[in-house]
Amino acid sequence: MKSLDTNESAVDLFESRLIRGGTRLIADLTEFFRDYRVDDTTFTIYAKGATRNKGFLLSRFLAWTVLPNYSVSLFCVDEGSTLLTTEKIRKNVDTVTRITKEEDLKWAWLVFFSGRDLPPSIVSFISRYDKKELGLAAASTSSRQVVLSNNQVGRSIGKQLKLGKTIGSNRTWKN
Amino acid sequence: MEKLTKTQVSILASYSMPLVLLSAFAINALLVSFHISTGTLRLVLLAGSFPIGFVLGRLIYTRRYHVEIQFDNSTFRVIKGSKEVVTGFWRSYRMVSLVLDQFGKPNLRLYKTKGGEHVDLPISRTNAEPQRFRDYAQSLVAGQRPREANPQVAEVA
């Protein structure tokens, strides 16, 4: 009764990286939900955490004395083969912004996976998004294109969460 | 019922090594009393402290710490050592998540209500593949048909 499925989807792989501590340098995500429903929006991945990581002995002591303990979250939407539109992105951004306020999050990441090429309107929308409390990213699993928002949190999706590596891309469109 | 379990070698070693040392002292004391203080025979007999210590350690580990999760499509049980610590019906829960413990190992958390009462299944102490087992549990708590995916991970040689 032993088997191992090697055909992991990009979202599974992304989550797997996060579970193994992919965000450790900037935040410690500690709880992961799948197909998390908020009103009429379903997030493929919803992860909760804080900026103060646990570590061991010295790093734990440093975290407790130096790092602020802000709550942060990661939301991920898998559009599959459905066309990703700016309307969908706006709707998800609104939902995440509301959750950010309700749960008093310092910041949140919102990542979109699409099985189709990213239309220029999406690239333009995301790359020009610059609100500091929400980092946006979209990744196409077909063209291996990654777009990040023009803010610190958005850029960290490429650097820390390594979204490009997850979909096998070394190309990142950013301002 | 399916079973998820794994011998935790580091824990087993931590239980066994003091017993290996103690049995080595005991064997040495016996050898001294029988005036066997040199030679290969002494080394061979002292080496016997390893199997003795590990067998005793294994007994203690099995009775106190070994974790086994038994489940089917309607119920689950968590057995730690010789005690059943958690039992329940999947359908009594509404949400499932993976929670990382203080060592960064993922365990399964079942919520009765959103953000409310919950129980944790220590799947990191078994051979379960966390994401796959979470998906399997989620399909059961959501009242859907269980997926075909096997939640056990392959053993890598």
Rounded average pLDDT over A33-56: 87
**Chain B contact set for A29 (CB, 8 A):** 100
Encoded tokens for B109: 């958390």
Residues B101 and A23 sit within 8 Å (Cβ to Cβ)? no
Hunting for tokens 């190992």 — which residue is that?
B105
Of the two residues A175 and B47, the one the predictor is more confident about is B47
Torsion of CA B49, B55, B61, B63, to 10 degrees: -140
Which of B96, B99, B152 has its CB closest to that of A1?
A: B152
Ranges of each domain in chain B: 7-64, 70-141
Rounded average pLDDT over A101-122: 91
Strand partners, A46: A33, A75
Residue to substitute from B4, B97, B141, B156, interface A, most A β-carbons within 10 A:
B97
Dist. CA A34–CA A55, nearest whole Å: 26
Residue A11 one-letter amino acid: V
**Chain A contact set for B104 (CB, 8 A):** 20-21, 54
B86 pLDDT above the threshold of 60: yes
Tell me which DSSP letter residue B103 carries: T
Residue A173 pLDDT level (bands cut at 50, 70, 90): very low
Of the two residues B148 and B53, the one the predictor is more confident about is B53
Residue to substitute from B6, B95, B98, interface A, most A β-carbons within 10 A:
B98
**pLDDT of A48:** 92
Residue B144 pLDDT level (bands cut at 50, 70, 90): low
Residue B148 pLDDT level (bands cut at 50, 70, 90): very low
> Tens of pLDDT along B46-64?
899 999 999 999 999 999 9
Hunting for tokens 């990191």 — which residue is that?
B124
**Chain B contact set for A35 (CB, 8 A):** 138
pTM equals: 0.82
Ranges of each domain in chain A: 24-173
